[in-house]
């Protein structure tokens, strides 16, 4: 017997939801419905510099308006920061993370100095400067209170894993993982003590998510998520990276564009039914 389907919608309350989020939430909840599965909601608010509880409340209101139903309780990530710390601790214990003291400027300077750096799809990758620090230097700088992030030692991680990773993408077919596109990614940010990647991978496993239905903007992150799942011995869900809604000019919808938030559409008299039919016909 195959496991019952469990999907989730995991918005970050950095602003109000717009049509694109309505589309994404409906994709995830309809998938669960179609398979007689469960649908969960998770508020990804670990980044206290960008998220707030008013936006989170507004998200719940917007989703209710759309007629989307989720299981209670909603998982609120900022109530579980200690869990993410513990999970990072496991990776650290096995030597898969290293402290990185670089500022953005340091990284920029190092990339310019080296004259070349490995590139990901969004530009040059971290040149692994701090990976070469000795244990003594790491300890001394931490003891001196120097702020640091924790980065994945990708080389070491892939040596340990010892095989090529893949994921099943129900939209794009079987994918070979290319974690080198992200390089030595930040797993624990300096400012918030965790990262989207770590918290999402931790929670997806904890919540028993079988099918991750999310936008194509996160396609590349899945390369890293598979590595983390392998290192942490977590189950591997199926993925559905759906297209993103765009405006008439083909640009992605953005939270900062107030005119198309669900709240403002609702307040201007648009009904949930008409919005749903608009987004389901794209
Ligand atoms: N919180 C992420 C966002 O709002 C989504 C994370 C995910 O679905 O994995 O873009």
Query: What CATH fold (topology level) applies to the domain 81-196?
Result: 3.90.800
Q: How confident is the model at residue 259 (pLDDT cuts 50, 70, 90)?
A: low
User: Is residue 227 over pLDDT 80?
Assistant: yes
Which range is least confidently modeled, 21-30, 204-213, 253-262?
253-262
Q: How confident is the model at residue 209 (pLDDT cuts 50, 70, 90)?
A: very high
pLDDT tens digits, residue range 74-108?
999 999 999 999 999 999 999 999 999 999 999 99
pTM of the complete model = 0.95
**pLDDT score of 1:** 60
Ligand 1 touching residue 11 (CB < 6 A): yes
Which comes out higher in pLDDT, residue 165 or 281? 165
Domain 1-79+245-282 annotated CATH 3.30.70.920: no
Beta strands in 57-216 (DSSP E): 71-76, 97-100, 119-120, 123-124, 149-152, 166-169, 173-176, 186-188, 211-215
pLDDT tens digits, residue range 111-128?
999 887 778 877 889 999
Between the CA of 10 and the centroid of ligand 1 the distance, in Å, is: 5
Delimit the domains of the chain by residue range. 1-79+245-282, 81-196
Q: Choose the residue to mutate in 44, 45, 240 for probing ligand 1, maximizing ligand atoms within 8 Å of C-beta.
A: 44
What are 13's two structure tokens? 């309350």
Task: Provide CB contacts within 8 A for 271, sequence distance 6+.
Answer: none
Q: Containing H/E element for 202?
A: helix 196-206
Q: Choose the residue to mutate in 218, 225, 237 for probing ligand 1, maximizing ligand atoms within 8 Å of C-beta.
A: 218
SS3 for 219-266 is HHHHHHHHHHHHHCCCCCCEEEEECCCECCCCCECCCCCHHHEHHHHH
Which comes out higher in pLDDT, residue 91 or 253? 91
Distance, in Å, from the CA atom of 90 to the CA atom of 29, rounded to the nearest integer, reads 33
**pLDDT score of 115:** 81
Identical fold, 1-79+245-282 and 81-196: no
Q: Which atom of ligand 1 is least distant from the CA of 8?
A: 8
What are 253's two structure tokens? 């919808």
Q: Which atom of ligand 1 is least distant from the CA of 9?
A: 8
Ligand 1 touching residue 56 (CB < 6 A): no
User: Is residue 279 over pLDDT 70?
Assistant: yes
User: Is residue 43 over pLDDT 90?
Assistant: yes
Residue having the nearest C-alpha atom to atom 6 of ligand 1: 10
User: Is residue 50 over pLDDT 70?
Assistant: yes
SS3 43: strand
**pLDDT score of 258:** 66
Ligand 1 touching residue 12 (CB < 6 A): yes
Distance, in Å, from the CA atom of 208 to the CA atom of 200, rounded to the nearest integer, reads 12
**pLDDT score of 260:** 84
Instruction: Give the residue-averaged pLDDT of 181-199.
Output: 97
Percent of the chain whose predicted confidence (pLDDT) is above 90: 87
Ligand 1 touching residue 38 (CB < 6 A): no
Between the CA of 13 and the centroid of ligand 1 the distance, in Å, is: 10
Q: Are 16 and 58 in contact (CB under 8 A)?
A: yes
Q: How many residues would you count in the chain?
A: 282
């Amino acid at each position: 017997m195959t496991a019952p389907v469990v999907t989730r919608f995991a918005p970050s309350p950095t602003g109000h939801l717009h049509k694109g989020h309505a589309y994404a939430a409906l994709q995830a909840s309809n998938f669960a419905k179609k398979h007689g599965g469960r649908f969960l909601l998770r508020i990804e608010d670990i980044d206290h510099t960008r998220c707030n509880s008013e936006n989170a409340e507004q998200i719940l209101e917007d989703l209710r308006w759309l007629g989307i139903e989720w299981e209670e309780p909603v998982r609120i990530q900022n109530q579980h920061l200690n869990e993410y710390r513990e999970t990072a601790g496991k990776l650290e214990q096995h030597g898969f993370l290293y402290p990185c003291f670089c500022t953005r400027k340091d990284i920029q300077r190092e990339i310019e100095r080296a004259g070349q750096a490995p590139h990901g799809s969004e530009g040059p990758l971290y040149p692994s400067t701090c990976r070469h620090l000795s244990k003594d230097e790491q300890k001394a700088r931490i003891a001196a209170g120097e702020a640091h992030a924790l980065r994945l030692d990708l080389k070491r991680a892939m040596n340990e894993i010892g095989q090529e990773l893949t994921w099943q993408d129900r939209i794009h077919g079987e994918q070979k993982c290319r974690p080198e596109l992200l390089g030595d990614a930040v797993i624990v940010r300096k400012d918030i003590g965790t990262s989207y990647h770590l918290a999402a991978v931790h929670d997806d496993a904890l919540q028993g998510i079988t099918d991750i239905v999310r936008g194509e903007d996160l396609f590349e992150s899945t390369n890293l998520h598979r590595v983390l799942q392998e290192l942490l011995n977590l189950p591997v869900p199926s993925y559905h990276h759906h297209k993103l809604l765009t405006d008439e000019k083909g640009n992605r919808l953005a939270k900062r564009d107030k005119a198309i938030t669900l709240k403002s559409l609702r307040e201007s008299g648009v009904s949930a039914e008409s919005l749903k039919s608009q987004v389901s016909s794209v």
